Amino acid sequence: MSLEQKYPEEVKKILAKYPSDFKRSAIMPLLFLAQREEGFVTKEAIKDIAQLADVTETEVVSIIGFYTLYHDKKEGKYRMQVCTDLPCALRGADQFLDKLCENLGIKVGETTEDGVVTLESVQCLASCDRAPMFQTQGPDGIKYHDYMTVDRTMELIEALKGKG
């Protein structure tokens, strides 16, 4: 089922926001809509979005690859994205991420065995003064977690496991 068939009203509203000669501006909201249920954008949705926005599939995929909010494959129920840019690294983000990997038994980019958490390293979540910090993306939306410790993060992960 195409994106337009699955979400006719939402697609119509998104496209109505942009002039017909600037349909490509609708790519990001369409991507967000496409990954709402599954947590990632399917190949079929990529084709649909390219057609709706009058661009190539490569252009759609390039946007997915650039932004950390869009994903082209299924991974953990929750994505935990730890900011490791320079200001956060100076506040201990790299050591924090290493300890999380140890505690979870995975490497950056991997998913826990139970499929609950995929751990990622990202650049700039605009919270440098509150590092170590990360955002979680999941069924309950995007949430920011500031001034985190490994212990508090492991407690949060246990709570997330309890939701599933």
pLDDT tens digit sequence for 67-110: 888 989 889 999 999 999 999 999 999 999 999 999 999 999 99
Mean pLDDT along residues 13-28: 94
Q: Is the pLDDT of residue 164 over 70?
A: no
Q: Give, in words, the CATH class of 78-163.
A: alpha beta
Residue 1: per-residue pLDDT: 85
**Greatest C-alpha distance within the chain:** 51
3-66 has CATH 1.10.10.1590 classification? yes
What is the C-alpha to C-alpha distance for residues 128 and 81, in angstroms, rounded to an integer?
14
Single-letter residue type at 98: D
Domain ranges for the chain: 3-66, 78-163
Find the length of the chain.
164
Q: Mutual orientation of helices 57-66 and 27-34 as an angle, nearest 10°?
A: 80
Chain centroid to Cα 65, Å, comes to: 11
CB hemisphere CA count around 144 (13 angstroms): 12
pTM to 2 decimals?
Answer: 0.77
pLDDT digits (tens, 9 = 90+) for 128-152: 899 999 999 988 888 999 999 999 9
